[in-house]
Each structure stands twice: as structure tokens, then as C-alpha cells.
């Protein structure tokens, strides 16, 4: 008795291999987005800022400040996710040109993380001009400096636009990136709730070390974005 053809089995094997590869590539893209957003949002670096600006507050007020900061920063970054690409297209800026410029800016941002002052010092210095104003006239610490520029930093705004380009990312891909961004902000919120224990464990020096390591990762991601865009420009001649 002759054996039946095994074409169907081979087709299923090829389909399984394709699904595995596609799933792997998808997971790597999500991981890259998570690492990029983690670095530019920097939940750990926000902890010392949160402790400094909420000193003297009650526990309930600190929780309210943390929640407000997370919600405001999420709203700002979602705005850039939705509107950022529209603004770029309206200005007639090519995707690859924006990728090169964005990569350079993120690289410079990474250098400030590596060689500059710790995040808590720079963000608190930015808030100093309001120190002489009456307390009721000062901006809420949940908005400034916690939401901006600590969580929704210029680097985070730029990164979210680069990661959700309409020309290369589908709506589903952009939705996944939005979920990744919100998950990073959720982690930042949890860190703010646990600010005192975290600082007792790692200290301000530990937070500065983590920030510098994250800066190295961001510099690598930014350099890769610039190199990839330049290679595409040289190959296609389109910016």
C-alpha cells in the first residue's frame, strides 16, 4: 500500500516556522520599544525627584500627586503619539530625515544622562524659578517638575513619535506601543508609591548609577536609528 503524500504536513511545518519567526520579531520590536521608553521616561530617576517635591506632604497628598503626575504625563505622551506624526507631515519633513535628527537629539539626551548632573538635580533646578512665588501661585509639583520634564521629558516626546511613525507602523502596532508606554508609566507610578523604600535601598548614588547605565542603552539605540536611516538614504536616495 502506497503512503499518502505528506504535502500537508510540510505546509504546516513551514507555517509553524513562519509563525515562530514572526512572533520572535514582534517580541523583539516590543522589547526594543520598552527599553527605549523605559530609558527616556526613567522611572527610577523620577523617584528622588518625587521625594524632593513631596517633602512635608501627607501620605494621601503624596499618593494623589503621584497619580496626577502619571496621568498628566500619559496624556502628554499620548497627544504626541497621535498628533506628532501629523505635525511632521504638515511641515513636509521626510521620515528618514526626522529619524536622523531624532536619533541625534536622543543621543545628545543620552550624553546628558551619562555625563550630566543626576536627574533629580536638573529637574529640581528647572523648578527653582518658581521658588520665590507664593505657594498658591506655583504650578502643582505633580505637573512640574514631575509630569514635565521628569516623566514626559523632551526625549520621551521625541521617542514616542519615532516609535509610532504612520508610514511604517500600523494602527495595531501604534496601539501596542501606546500600551508599552502606559506600562512604563504604571511602573513609574508604583515606584513613586514605593519611593522611600527604594531610596533607602539604592540611595541617590544608586539612582544616579542606574540613570547613567540607562543613558548608555539610549545612546546605543539612538546611534542604531541614525545608522539605519543613513543606510536607507544612501540606498534609496530619498530622505
Confidence of residue 66 (pLDDT cuts 50, 70, 90): very high
DSSP 237: -
Q: State the pLDDT at residue 70.
A: 97
Does 185 score more than 70 pLDDT?
Answer: yes
- Decide if 1 is inside a domain: no
Mean pLDDT across the stretch 207-225?
Answer: 82
Q: State the pLDDT at residue 49.
A: 83
What are the pLDDT digits (tens) for 107-117?
887 888 788 76
Annotate 100-134 with three-state secondary structure.
Answer: HHHHHHHHHHHHHHHHCCCHHHHHHHHHHHHCCCC
What are the pLDDT digits (tens) for 6-50?
555 555 555 666 677 778 888 888 998 999 999 889 898 888 889
Does 81 score more than 60 pLDDT?
Answer: yes
- Decide if 2 is inside a domain: no
Please tell me the total count of domains within the chain: 1
DSSP 166: T
Residue partners of 177: CB distance under 8 A and separation at least 6: 33, 81, 160, 163, 164, 169
Q: State the pLDDT at residue 224.
A: 85
- Decide if 15 is inside a domain: yes
Share of the chain above pLDDT 70, in %: 82
Count of residues making up the chain? 239
Provide the whole-model pTM.
Answer: 0.76
- Decide if 14 is inside a domain: yes
Residue 106 CB-half CA count within 13 A: 32
Mean pLDDT across the stretch 62-87?
Answer: 93
Higher pLDDT, 120 or 85: 85
14 lies in which domain range?
A: 7-236
146 three-class SS? helix
What are the pLDDT digits (tens) for 136-181?
556 788 998 899 888 998 788 888 988 988 777 888 999 999 999 9
Mean pLDDT over the full length of the chain? 81
Amino acid at each position: 500500500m502506497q503512503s499518502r503524500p505528506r504535502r500537508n504536513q510540510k505546509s504546516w511545518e513551514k507555517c509553524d516556522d513562519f509563525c515562530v519567526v514572526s512572533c520572535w520579531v514582534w517580541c523583539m520590536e516590543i522589547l526594543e520599544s520598552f527599553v527605549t521608553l523605559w530609558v527616556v521616561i526613567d522611572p527610577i530617576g523620577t523617584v528622588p525627584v518625587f521625594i524632593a517635591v513631596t517633602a512635608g506632604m501627607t501620605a494621601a497628598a503624596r499618593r494623589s500627586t503621584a497619580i496626577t503626575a502619571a496621568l498628566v504625563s500619559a496624556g502628554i505622551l499620548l497627544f504626541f503619539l497621535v498628533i506628532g506624526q501629523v505635525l511632521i507631515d504638515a511641515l513636509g519633513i521626510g521620515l528618514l530625515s526626522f529619524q536622523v535628527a531624532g536619533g541625534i537629539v536622543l543621543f545628545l539626551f543620552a550624553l546628558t544622562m551619562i555625563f550630566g548632573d543626576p536627574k533629580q538635580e536638573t529637574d529640581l533646578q528647572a523648578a527653582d524659578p518658581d521658588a520665590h512665588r507664593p505657594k498658591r501661585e506655583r504650578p502643582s509639583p505633580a505637573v512640574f517638575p514631575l509630569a514635565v520634564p521628569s516623566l514626559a521629558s523632551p526625549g520621551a516626546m521625541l521617542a514616542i513619535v519615532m516609535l509610532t511613525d504612520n508610514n511604517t507602523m500600523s494602527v495595531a502596532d501604534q496601539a501596542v506601543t501606546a500600551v508599552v508606554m502606559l506600562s512604563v508609566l504604571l511602573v513609574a507610578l508604583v515606584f513613586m508609591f514605593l519611593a522611600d523604600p527604594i531610596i533607602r535601598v539604592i540611595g541617590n548614588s544608586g539612582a544616579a548609577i542606574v540613570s547613567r547605565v540607562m543613558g548608555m542603552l539610549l545612546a546605543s539605540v539612538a546611534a542604531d536609528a541614525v545608522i539605519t536611516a543613513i543606510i536607507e538614504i544612501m540606498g534609496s536616495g530619498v530622505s
